[in-house]
Structure 1
Amino acid sequence: MTRITLERLQVWIYLVAIVTGLTLGTVMGDAAEVFEAALWPLLGLLLFATFTQVPLIHLREAFRDRHFMGVALAGNFVLIPLVVWGLIWFLPDDPAIRLGVLLVLLVPCTDWFITFSHLAGGDTGRAIAITPINLLLQIALLPVYLWLFMGQSFVEILAAGPIVTAFVTLILIPLVAAWGLEWWSMRHPTGAVVIDRLAWAPVPLLAIVVFVIAVSQVESVLSAIPVLGPVTGIFVAYLAAALLLGLALSRLFDLPDRSACVLIFALGTRNSFVVLPLALALSSEWTVVAVVIVFQSLVELFGVVAYLKVLPLVVPWALARR
């Protein structure tokens, strides 16, 4: 099996992991604590493996194509937050549901969007170049967005669990470690081999993580089922809005078709498991936040499969030069 095949099959792998986890968690309720203890090390390893695939030491190269970079950054960090702000008004008036949607939709993807951009015929070089900028900006801007959208509630959320600790131990430390490994790989061939091997890790590790969440949080997952209907509509609407926005920006700024595909995937895909540790660090009354985030990743994967079928037809038609 090739890595591309593995990534194509990932949505089904995650579905099997979740169903298996829910079944095991229901049958073996006393196993929850054991699995929950393994969740944090697994998350740290998952994020480290993921961050090693982001070219963190090549930030300068990201700005070689300033035209595309400017359009992509404006789309992801100015226009997409406005889209999300409009969508949350259609959600139930539940702070936990809104927080889950905000956390996951405000952070652009830095991993599988590259694979899907490539599969759609997009410019993989531009996709790779934009990932480190997307990662660093989302870490810096997410607290600002949450404060703007939630106001005083955001301050209360910060006090609802060890979020700062989770950010440092599960996001910041793996990020710095990944940067160190990439720096080492530039000087030692062994480092490059390690990074290449780690490229296989995110899909199975994420499958294990969602399995562990399903086992350890089975009651929370089952109790959250009634809210999945409304959030499904929001996530599908988001995918449609991101597609239309990507087409509009590509036409307005005269992007080539291959760059337009990258832009649409950059706008449509989100960084669900990077914000997952923050959700899991919240206190028990906020457990639905993590469920919403995991569920969004499944909806998104089905969505990007639809993108793969639609974009080769829609992009040339929408961007036809007159």
Structure 2
Amino acid sequence: MPVNDSQHKTEPNTPEPGLAGSGVAALFIGAIIAGSFLGLASPEASGMVSNYIDQTLLLMIFLLCFELRPSALLDGLKNLRFLGIAWGANFLVIPVIGFAIATVFLSNQPVFYTGLLIYFLAPCTDWFLGFARMAKGDTALGAALIPINMLTQLLLFPVWLWLFTRHTGVVDLESVPGTLMDWFLVPLLAAQALRFVMTKALPEDLFARIMTWAGHIIPVVIAALILQIFAGNIITIADQAQIFGIILVAIFLFFVVTYFVVEGISRVTALPYEQHALLTMTTAARNAPMMLAVTAVAIPGEPLILAALVIGMLVEFPHLTAMKQLLLRQRNRKLAA
């Protein structure tokens, strides 16, 4: 029988462990290779493909918004202490770390600096939950972080750009709020309206299958967007390829620093293991897909910024896998003690 969204007891759809790791990374690498080959082999075909970037962006934004489960926020409000700790770590502590690292490595490269900083600033809203599940973290509480993380980062995006990038001249700051309103408010309302209607009209098992398929489609749509970006801009990206080595080092350092900072926060606040694992994953994973969409519409005509975000996505999956192993070792040591 049809049910309300609040009655759905399953967690919001998140990528399966295998898909969230090597499968998605391979998909994205394949998209980079295919897009680059197309851009070099056939400028005419690559131009046709890249002309549909806006449509792909809208589809990706709609699907990401469709996954949001507002009822999860109400469930998570039972643990305001953890939500406050996670929010402070994600939106106060980590932005400072990201700003410092981006400034040290790329302050003389304003376009790449902007892309790296955007990657650092936004916590994940999807596959971090799959890795938290594998690490035996509190995924029910993690579900409440998804709408909080998404809405907070969208609201803070113009603020971050003003604080951290106004000196670069890369961003037209005055146009950003209106652009985000046009591109994200309408898809968010439409996606949530469709979700509400479906929860009222469809049986629970059918709705759950639809959510599962929506989750599987999202990486494919992201891969299509990556292919379009590289097809239309491979020559520009290739001309600056040497910078990507610096970006990789900066991202690696960011992950190391944030890991130890979160370890310290978890100990000071005496979080139980399940919440510690969740905090580690929500702060380790970055929301590159959403930032890819936000950046493409808010800062158009800057393919190097988008390429920096894609590089970050590729590094992230092995990093999250390593975090999962470290957390499970900590858990096993505590159980054995």
Q: Is 1:104–1:293's contact at 8 Å kept on the other side of the alignment?
A: yes
2:18 is the alignment partner of 1:5: yes
Alignment match, 2:87: 73
Q: Distance in 2 between matches of 1:56 and 1:15?
A: 33
Alignment match, 1:208: 224
2:62 is the alignment partner of 1:48: yes
Instruction: Write out aligned runs for 1:33-112 (5 A).
Output: 33-92=47-106, 93-112=108-127
Q: Distance in 2 between matches of 1:189 and 1:142?
A: 36
Alignment match, 2:251: 235
Q: Is 2:66–2:192's contact at 8 Å kept on the other side of the alignment?
A: yes
Instruction: Name the SS for the 1:132 alignment partner.
Output: helix
Instruction: Write out aligned runs for 1:184-203 (5 A).
Output: 184-189=197-202, 192-193=207-208, 194-203=210-219
Q: Name the CA shift for 1:175/1:72 in 2 (closer, same or farther; >3 Å).
A: same
Consecutive unaligned residues of structure 1, counting only runs of 5 or more, are none
Instruction: Name the SS for the 1:186 alignment partner.
Output: helix
Q: Give the aligned residue type for 1:309.
A: Q
Alignment match, 2:196: 183
Q: Distance in 1 between matches of 2:152 and 2:85?
A: 15
Q: Is 2:158–2:177's contact at 8 Å kept on the other side of the alignment?
A: no
2:46 is the alignment partner of 1:26: no
Q: Is 1:170–1:277's contact at 8 Å kept on the other side of the alignment?
A: no
Query: What is the TM-score normalised by the length of structure 2?
Result: 0.86
Q: Give the aligned residue type for 2:202.
A: P
Consecutive unaligned residues of structure 2, counting only runs of 5 or more, are 1-14
* CA-CA distance at 1:297 after TM superposition: 0.9
Question: For structure 1, which segment, 257-266 or 304-313, has the greater mean C-alpha deviation from structure 2 after superposition?
Answer: 304-313
Of residues 161, 164, 180, the one that matches 1:167 is 180
Question: For structure 1, which segment, 103-112 or 187-196, has the greater mean C-alpha deviation from structure 2 after superposition?
Answer: 187-196
Of residues 125, 143, 148, the one that matches 1:128 is 143
Q: Give the aligned residue type for 1:97.
A: F
Query: What is the TM-score normalised by the length of structure 1?
Result: 0.89
Q: Give the aligned residue type for 1:94.
A: Q
Q: Name the CA shift for 1:32/1:202 in 2 (closer, same or farther; >3 Å).
A: same
Instruction: Name the SS for the 1:225 alignment partner.
Output: coil
Alignment match, 2:163: 148
Q: Name the CA shift for 1:85/1:172 in 2 (closer, same or farther; >3 Å).
A: same
Q: Give the aligned residue type for 1:264.
A: T
1:31-65, CA deviations, whole angstroms, 9 ceiling, x for partnerless residues? 22211122111121112212222213443222111
Alignment match, 2:3: none
* CA-CA distance at 1:75 after TM superposition: 0.5
Of residues 268, 285, 305, the one that matches 2:284 is 268
* CA-CA distance at 1:202 after TM superposition: 0.9
Q: Distance in 2 between matches of 1:310 and 1:41?
A: 40
Alignment match, 1:217: 233
Cα root mean square deviation, aligned: 2.5
Q: Name the CA shift for 1:39/1:119 in 2 (closer, same or farther; >3 Å).
A: same
Q: Distance in 2 between matches of 1:235 and 1:315?
A: 27
- Alignment size in residue pairs: 317
Instruction: Name the SS for the 1:309 alignment partner.
Output: helix
2:189 is the alignment partner of 1:137: no
- What is the aligned-residue identity percentage? 22
Q: Distance in 1 between matches of 2:176 and 2:145?
A: 27
Q: Is 1:44–1:169's contact at 8 Å kept on the other side of the alignment?
A: no
